[in-house]
């Protein structure tokens, strides 16, 4: 961009500015000379100029949208050609209640669905299991069988609306239910589209809703890759998630490094199975957090695209789509405050804007009341309207990557990439991703960051509006969602009826076939689909795999 003589001239002018303008100003206002850091504790200078990014080759390292290395976006038109999918994460109580919420969101302009499951479902238990008592429907919808899935998507055109499902340990079983529901409605599995999260490495690292040990869990994930690429070609068989890593307390740099590291581990396992990279890589997707530091988040998304394209190319990917990092974004739940919940709308707006400017393919915006309860209809409508205002009124979709070429953005993008590779070196020294998990490396790194961040809040070194500054002593006056107290009873009764009316001999036969396949090395998806089609429950199907694979016990980490 600049030759050496021009850069030298810029450096001289910068020194002159620092000595004669900046330094004179801070003499009069010394408080303005304080140290500024982003949320990864990277020191941020007062000014960035071309010499800060002089090592970057604009054509090679930054490039153009739609062209390798995709730093500026995977599509040449980005949001000028098509807006991101507005996909509000939603689920609570029974399938009936959640189905009503889905119809409400679609009527108000949502363009894709996103399913939140309750904790018993996440852990592979039916609603009537003793472990499920007291947890029914509190943080998502309960899905214990294909019957629940049929109710959940009643009246929804699953051949035209894509669905994302945040499920990990039992992801293959829940996905099979979605496929079976479509097929029972006469819809070919090859036309349905959506995403299962299916990211078990992140569970061991951060969210902890794992079921099986790592090796059989990875086997199940690669089974979905293989089956999906052949049988359900429009489906993203994984959403490699940094979101929960960030929610657990990581920095943006850790989120970037750990997420992409996990992604490459899945690729290595699939290739070891014998899958061709260009057959499954185009259907790998990602899921990132949108936190409070506006520019850091934008730089994170841009760095992620460039790193992923580079690494997949090294591994032998040939198709351009194999190099695409397609990602969903959710605004940061951990930043929402119970104090003055209405101001969460402003936080969410800033975070959503960062995701859009960073080039997200789909977006969830949190509701203002989520620190208190599941979102009310009014709160979720405002959250959706936030996306719609950004899309329709702000003008930020008019051009592609409008911040590209900013000295600060390009420097920060490059810096985050550099720190990502440093983390990868440390993981490699520990023997790779799985050994690093067993040794507690990721968990300790996240815990240290979470502790440091909270300590800064407690000491008022980091301001959270309404929490440690600008507090108000007044009652909260927003409506809180009330759940149907009879929902659990109805769900249990439906399970009893299902077990009585289904063909139990067929169920038993299919579960035995699944057990035998799990004891061998066949792809388990066809066997799981048979179980689901015969109305074997989630808990019954999962128990077969528990019996064969065992359950994961997290090591004690000091």
pLDDT in tens, 94-131: 999 999 999 999 999 999 999 999 999 999 999 999 99
**Nearest of 379, 543, 486 to residue 137 by alpha carbon:** 486
Going by DSSP bridges, is the β-strand pair 238-241/235-236 parallel, antiparallel, or unpaired?
unpaired
C-alpha span between 463 and 467 (Å, rounded): 8
C-alpha span between 193 and 235 (Å, rounded): 5
Q: Chunked in runs of 10, what are the mean pLDDT values of the chain (558 residues)?
A: 83 90 86 86 92 85 94 94 94 95 97 97 97 91 97 97 97 98 97 98 96 97 98 98 98 98 98 97 98 98 98 97 98 97 97 98 97 93 98 96 95 97 98 96 97 97 96 86 84 96 98 98 98 98 98 82
Q: What is the pTM for the complete model shown? A: 0.95
pLDDT digits (tens, 9 = 90+) for 419-461: 999 999 999 999 999 999 999 999 999 999 999 999 999 999 9
Burial of 374 (0-12, 13-18, 19+ CB in 10 A): buried
C-alpha span between 460 and 458 (Å, rounded): 5
Range 59-458: architecture per CATH: Alpha-Beta Barrel (3.20)
Instruction: Kindly state the tokens that stand for 329.
Output: 């974004």
Cis bond leading into 69, ω under 30°? yes
Instruction: Kindly state the tokens that stand for 496.
Output: 């009893």
Q: Residue 50 to residues 6, 42, 404, 417, 483: CA-CA distances in angstroms?
A: 10, 19, 13, 19, 56
Instruction: Kindly state the tokens that stand for 199.
Output: 């990211």
Start-end of CATH 3.20.20.240 domains in the chain: 59-458
Enumerate residues 6+ apart whose C-beta is below 8 A from 279: 229
Spell out the long-range contacts of 453-457 with Cβ–Cβ below 8 A and sequence spacing 24 or more.
453/39, 453/249, 454/249
């Amino acid at each position: 961009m600049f030759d050496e003589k021009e850069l030298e001239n810029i450096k001289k002018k910068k020194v002159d500015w620092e000595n004669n303008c900046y330094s004179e100003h801070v003499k009069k206002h010394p408080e303005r000379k304080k140290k500024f850091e982003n949320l990864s504790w990277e020191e941020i200078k007062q000014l960035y100029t071309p010499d800060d990014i002089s090592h970057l080759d604009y054509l090679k390292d930054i490039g153009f949208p739609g062209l390798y290395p995709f730093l500026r976006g995977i599509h040449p038109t980005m949001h000028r050609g098509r807006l991101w999918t507005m996909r509000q994460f939603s689920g609570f109580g029974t399938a009936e209640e959640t189905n009503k919420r889905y119809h409400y969101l679609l009527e108000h302009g949502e363009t894709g669905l996103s399913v939140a499951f309750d904790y018993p479902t996440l852990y592979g238990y039916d609603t009537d299991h003793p472990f499920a008592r007291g947890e029914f429907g509190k943080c998502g919808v309960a899905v214990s069988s294909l019957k629940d899935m049929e109710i959940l998507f009643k009246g929804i055109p699953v051949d035209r609306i894509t669905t994302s499902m945040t499920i990990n340990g039992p992801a293959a079983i829940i996905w099979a239910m979605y496929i079976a529901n479509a097929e029972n409605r006469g819809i070919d599995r090859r036309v349905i589209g959506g995403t299962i999260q299916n990211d078990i490495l992140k569970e061991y690292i951060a969210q902890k809703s794992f079921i099986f040990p790592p090796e059989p869990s990875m086997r199940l994930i690669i089974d979905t890759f293989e089956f999906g690429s052949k049988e359900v070609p429009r489906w993203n068989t994984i959403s490699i998630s940094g979101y929960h890593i960030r929610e657990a307390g990581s920095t943006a740099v850790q989120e970037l490094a750990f997420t992409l590291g996990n992604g490459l581990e899945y690729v290595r396992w699939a290739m070891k199975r014998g899958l061709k990279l260009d057959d499954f890589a185009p259907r790998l997707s990602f899921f990132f957090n949108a936190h409070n530091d506006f520019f850091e988040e934008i730089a994170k998304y841009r760095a992620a695209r460039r790193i992923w394209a580079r690494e997949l190319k090294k591994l032998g990917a040939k198709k351009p789509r194999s190099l695409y990092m397609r990602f969903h974004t959710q605004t940061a739940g951990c930043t929402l405050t119970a104090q003055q919940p209405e101001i969460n709308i402003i936080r969410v707006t800033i975070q959503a804007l960062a995701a859009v400017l960073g080039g997200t393919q789909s977006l969830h915006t949190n509701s203002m009341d989520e620190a208190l309860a599941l979102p009310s209809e009014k709160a979720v409508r405002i959250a959706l309207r936030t996306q719609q205002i950004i899309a329709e009124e702000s003008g930020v979709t008019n051009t592609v990557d409008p911040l590209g070429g900013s000295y600060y953005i390009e420097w920060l993008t490059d810096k985050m990439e550099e720190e990502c590779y440093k983390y990868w070196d440390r993981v490699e020294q520990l023997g790779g991703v799985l050994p690093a998990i067993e040794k507690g490396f990721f968990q300790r790194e996240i815990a240290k960051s979470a502790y440091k961040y909270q300590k800064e809040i407690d000491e008022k070194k980091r301001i959270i509006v309404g929490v440690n500054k600008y507090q108000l002593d007044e009652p909260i006056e927003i409506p809180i969602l009330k759940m149907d107290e009879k929902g659990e009873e109805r769900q249990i009764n439906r399970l009893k009826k299902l077990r009585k009316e289904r063909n139990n001999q067929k169920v038993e036969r299919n579960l035995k076939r699944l057990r035998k396949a799990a004891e061998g090395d066949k792809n388990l998806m066809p066997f799981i689909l048979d179980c689901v089609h015969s109305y074997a429950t989630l808990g019954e199907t999962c128990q077969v795999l528990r019996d064969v694979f065992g359950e994961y016990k997290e090591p004690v980490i000091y």
